[in-house]
Amino acid sequence: MDKIELYSYWRSSAAYRVRIALNLKQIDYQQKAVNLLTGQGQPIEFHLLNPTGLVPVFVHNDVVLNQSLAIMLYLEEAFPKPALLPSGNDRYQVIAMAQDIISDIHPLNNLRVLRYLANPIGATQEQKGAWYHHWVHTGFSALESRLVACAGHYAFGDAVTMLDVCLVPQVYNAERFDVDMTDYPIICRITEKLRLHPAFVRALPENQPDAQ
Protein backbone atom coordinates (compact mmCIF):
# COMPACT_ATOMS: atom_id res chain seq x y z
CA MET A 1 0.00 0.00 0.00
CA ASP A 2 1.30 3.45 -0.93
CA LYS A 3 2.44 5.74 1.86
CA ILE A 4 1.11 9.21 1.06
CA GLU A 5 1.53 12.01 3.61
CA LEU A 6 1.16 15.78 3.53
CA TYR A 7 2.76 18.02 6.12
CA SER A 8 0.43 20.99 6.19
CA TYR A 9 -0.64 24.07 8.12
CA TRP A 10 -4.33 24.87 7.88
CA ARG A 11 -3.87 28.50 6.78
CA SER A 12 -0.92 28.00 4.46
CA SER A 13 -1.89 28.98 0.91
CA ALA A 14 0.78 26.66 -0.50
CA ALA A 15 -0.52 23.67 1.47
CA TYR A 16 -4.09 24.66 0.54
CA ARG A 17 -3.16 24.32 -3.15
CA VAL A 18 -1.79 20.82 -2.67
CA ARG A 19 -4.83 19.72 -0.66
CA ILE A 20 -7.06 20.84 -3.53
CA ALA A 21 -4.96 18.95 -6.08
CA LEU A 22 -4.98 15.78 -3.96
CA ASN A 23 -8.75 16.04 -3.56
CA LEU A 24 -9.34 16.63 -7.27
CA LYS A 25 -7.32 13.52 -8.06
CA GLN A 26 -9.15 11.61 -5.30
CA ILE A 27 -5.92 10.57 -3.62
CA ASP A 28 -6.18 9.33 -0.04
CA TYR A 29 -3.47 10.82 2.14
CA GLN A 30 -2.55 11.29 5.77
CA GLN A 31 -2.29 14.88 6.87
CA LYS A 32 0.32 15.85 9.45
CA ALA A 33 -0.15 19.23 11.08
CA VAL A 34 2.74 21.70 11.33
CA ASN A 35 2.05 24.82 13.39
CA LEU A 36 3.78 27.64 11.52
CA LEU A 37 2.33 30.29 13.79
CA THR A 38 3.87 29.13 17.06
CA GLY A 39 6.48 26.64 15.89
CA GLN A 40 5.29 24.33 18.67
CA GLY A 41 4.17 20.75 18.29
CA GLN A 42 5.90 20.25 14.96
CA PRO A 43 6.73 16.63 14.12
CA ILE A 44 10.43 15.95 14.72
CA GLU A 45 10.83 14.29 11.34
CA PHE A 46 9.41 17.35 9.56
CA HIS A 47 12.64 19.36 9.82
CA LEU A 48 14.65 16.38 8.64
CA LEU A 49 12.46 16.22 5.55
CA ASN A 50 12.54 19.97 4.91
CA PRO A 51 15.18 22.09 6.72
CA THR A 52 13.48 25.31 5.54
CA GLY A 53 10.70 24.60 8.03
CA LEU A 54 8.03 25.52 5.47
CA VAL A 55 4.99 23.64 4.24
CA PRO A 56 3.86 21.78 2.29
CA VAL A 57 6.02 18.70 2.35
CA PHE A 58 4.68 15.74 0.39
CA VAL A 59 5.75 12.13 0.92
CA HIS A 60 4.90 9.34 -1.51
CA ASN A 61 6.73 6.18 -0.51
CA ASP A 62 10.41 7.15 -1.05
CA VAL A 63 9.65 10.44 -2.80
CA VAL A 64 9.87 13.57 -0.62
CA LEU A 65 9.04 16.94 -2.13
CA ASN A 66 8.54 20.47 -0.90
CA GLN A 67 7.28 23.44 -2.97
CA SER A 68 3.65 23.28 -4.06
CA LEU A 69 4.28 23.55 -7.81
CA ALA A 70 6.82 20.70 -7.77
CA ILE A 71 4.36 18.58 -5.80
CA MET A 72 1.49 19.31 -8.18
CA LEU A 73 3.62 18.54 -11.24
CA TYR A 74 4.65 15.26 -9.61
CA LEU A 75 1.00 14.41 -8.91
CA GLU A 76 0.19 15.15 -12.53
CA GLU A 77 2.67 12.49 -13.65
CA ALA A 78 2.14 9.93 -10.89
CA PHE A 79 -1.66 10.26 -10.83
CA PRO A 80 -2.59 11.55 -14.30
CA LYS A 81 -6.39 11.30 -13.99
CA PRO A 82 -8.06 13.71 -13.90
CA ALA A 83 -5.55 15.96 -15.61
CA LEU A 84 -4.97 19.40 -14.11
CA LEU A 85 -2.98 20.57 -17.11
CA PRO A 86 -4.27 20.84 -20.69
CA SER A 87 -2.40 19.25 -23.56
CA GLY A 88 0.04 20.86 -25.98
CA ASN A 89 1.37 24.37 -25.50
CA ASP A 90 -1.63 25.31 -23.36
CA ARG A 91 -0.11 23.39 -20.45
CA TYR A 92 2.81 25.82 -20.31
CA GLN A 93 0.45 28.80 -20.35
CA VAL A 94 -1.37 27.35 -17.34
CA ILE A 95 1.90 26.69 -15.51
CA ALA A 96 3.13 30.22 -16.27
CA MET A 97 -0.05 31.83 -14.97
CA ALA A 98 -0.04 29.59 -11.91
CA GLN A 99 3.52 30.76 -11.25
CA ASP A 100 2.38 34.37 -11.53
CA ILE A 101 0.47 33.61 -8.33
CA ILE A 102 2.92 31.22 -6.69
CA SER A 103 6.07 33.22 -7.40
CA ASP A 104 5.03 36.86 -7.78
CA ILE A 105 2.13 37.34 -5.35
CA HIS A 106 2.22 34.80 -2.56
CA PRO A 107 5.89 34.93 -1.46
CA LEU A 108 5.73 38.69 -0.87
CA ASN A 109 2.80 38.25 1.50
CA ASN A 110 3.44 35.04 3.39
CA LEU A 111 3.77 34.79 7.16
CA ARG A 112 7.54 35.03 7.50
CA VAL A 113 7.73 38.10 5.21
CA LEU A 114 5.02 39.92 7.16
CA ARG A 115 6.75 39.03 10.41
CA TYR A 116 10.07 40.35 9.13
CA LEU A 117 8.44 43.61 8.08
CA ALA A 118 7.30 44.07 11.68
CA ASN A 119 10.50 42.89 13.34
CA PRO A 120 13.31 43.83 12.77
CA ILE A 121 12.26 46.39 10.14
CA GLY A 122 9.62 47.96 12.39
CA ALA A 123 6.72 48.37 9.95
CA THR A 124 3.43 49.32 11.56
CA GLN A 125 0.25 47.29 11.07
CA GLU A 126 -0.92 49.90 8.57
CA GLN A 127 2.34 49.72 6.64
CA LYS A 128 2.19 45.92 6.55
CA GLY A 129 -1.37 46.16 5.24
CA ALA A 130 -0.33 48.61 2.53
CA TRP A 131 2.51 46.27 1.51
CA TYR A 132 0.15 43.31 1.32
CA HIS A 133 -2.54 45.15 -0.67
CA HIS A 134 -0.01 46.62 -3.12
CA TRP A 135 1.40 43.27 -4.19
CA VAL A 136 -1.98 41.55 -4.39
CA HIS A 137 -3.41 44.34 -6.54
CA THR A 138 -0.32 44.33 -8.76
CA GLY A 139 -0.63 40.59 -9.35
CA PHE A 140 -4.41 40.40 -9.63
CA SER A 141 -4.57 43.31 -12.07
CA ALA A 142 -2.22 41.52 -14.45
CA LEU A 143 -3.99 38.19 -13.97
CA GLU A 144 -7.44 39.67 -14.57
CA SER A 145 -6.29 41.12 -17.89
CA ARG A 146 -4.93 37.72 -18.98
CA LEU A 147 -8.12 35.91 -17.97
CA VAL A 148 -10.11 38.01 -20.44
CA ALA A 149 -8.58 35.95 -23.24
CA CYS A 150 -8.52 32.47 -21.69
CA ALA A 151 -11.25 32.11 -19.05
CA GLY A 152 -14.29 29.95 -19.65
CA HIS A 153 -16.24 28.30 -16.86
CA TYR A 154 -12.93 28.28 -15.04
CA ALA A 155 -9.66 30.20 -15.26
CA PHE A 156 -8.39 28.45 -18.38
CA GLY A 157 -11.26 27.18 -20.47
CA ASP A 158 -14.02 24.92 -19.19
CA ALA A 159 -12.03 22.38 -17.18
CA VAL A 160 -10.47 22.85 -13.74
CA THR A 161 -6.72 23.33 -14.06
CA MET A 162 -3.71 23.98 -11.89
CA LEU A 163 -4.38 27.68 -12.34
CA ASP A 164 -7.70 27.34 -10.51
CA VAL A 165 -5.96 25.34 -7.80
CA CYS A 166 -3.58 28.27 -7.22
CA LEU A 167 -6.14 31.03 -7.64
CA VAL A 168 -8.66 30.10 -4.95
CA PRO A 169 -6.20 30.04 -2.01
CA GLN A 170 -4.78 33.42 -3.08
CA VAL A 171 -8.26 34.95 -3.18
CA TYR A 172 -8.99 33.42 0.22
CA ASN A 173 -5.89 35.14 1.59
CA ALA A 174 -6.72 38.45 -0.08
CA GLU A 175 -10.19 38.48 1.43
CA ARG A 176 -8.78 37.63 4.85
CA PHE A 177 -6.67 40.80 4.62
CA ASP A 178 -9.61 42.91 3.38
CA VAL A 179 -8.38 43.45 -0.18
CA ASP A 180 -11.05 45.16 -2.29
CA MET A 181 -11.82 42.71 -5.10
CA THR A 182 -14.17 45.02 -7.04
CA ASP A 183 -11.79 45.44 -9.98
CA TYR A 184 -11.47 41.68 -10.55
CA PRO A 185 -14.89 40.41 -11.72
CA ILE A 186 -13.50 37.43 -13.65
CA ILE A 187 -11.38 36.28 -10.72
CA CYS A 188 -14.36 36.64 -8.39
CA ARG A 189 -16.76 34.80 -10.71
CA ILE A 190 -14.40 31.86 -11.13
CA THR A 191 -13.60 31.71 -7.41
CA GLU A 192 -17.26 31.70 -6.39
CA LYS A 193 -17.96 28.82 -8.78
CA LEU A 194 -14.99 26.80 -7.56
CA ARG A 195 -15.94 27.29 -3.93
CA LEU A 196 -18.93 25.02 -4.57
CA HIS A 197 -16.74 22.19 -5.87
CA PRO A 198 -16.42 19.36 -3.30
CA ALA A 199 -12.64 19.09 -3.73
CA PHE A 200 -12.23 22.78 -2.93
CA VAL A 201 -14.68 22.62 -0.03
CA ARG A 202 -12.76 19.74 1.58
CA ALA A 203 -9.51 21.68 1.21
CA LEU A 204 -10.80 24.85 2.91
CA PRO A 205 -8.59 25.98 5.79
CA GLU A 206 -11.56 25.91 8.19
CA ASN A 207 -12.21 22.27 7.30
CA GLN A 208 -8.74 21.04 8.29
CA PRO A 209 -8.13 19.03 11.48
CA ASP A 210 -5.67 21.62 12.82
CA ALA A 211 -7.91 24.65 12.11
CA GLN A 212 -7.97 27.15 14.96
The pTM (predicted TM-score) of the whole model is: 0.95
Q: For the chain, what are the domain ranges?
A: 4-83, 90-198
CATH fold of the domain at 4-83: Glutaredoxin (3.40.30)
Tens digits of pLDDT across the chain (212 residues)? 789 999 999 999 999 999 999 999 999 999 999 988 876 657 778 888 998 889 999 999 999 999 999 999 999 999 999 999 999 999 999 999 999 999 999 988 888 899 899 999 999 999 999 999 999 999 999 999 999 999 999 999 999 999 999 999 999 999 999 999 999 999 999 999 999 999 999 999 999 999 98
Cα–Cα distance measured from residue 176 to residue 167, given in angstroms and rounded to the nearest whole number: 14
Instruction: Say which CATH architecture domain 90-198 belongs to.
Output: Up-down Bundle (1.20)
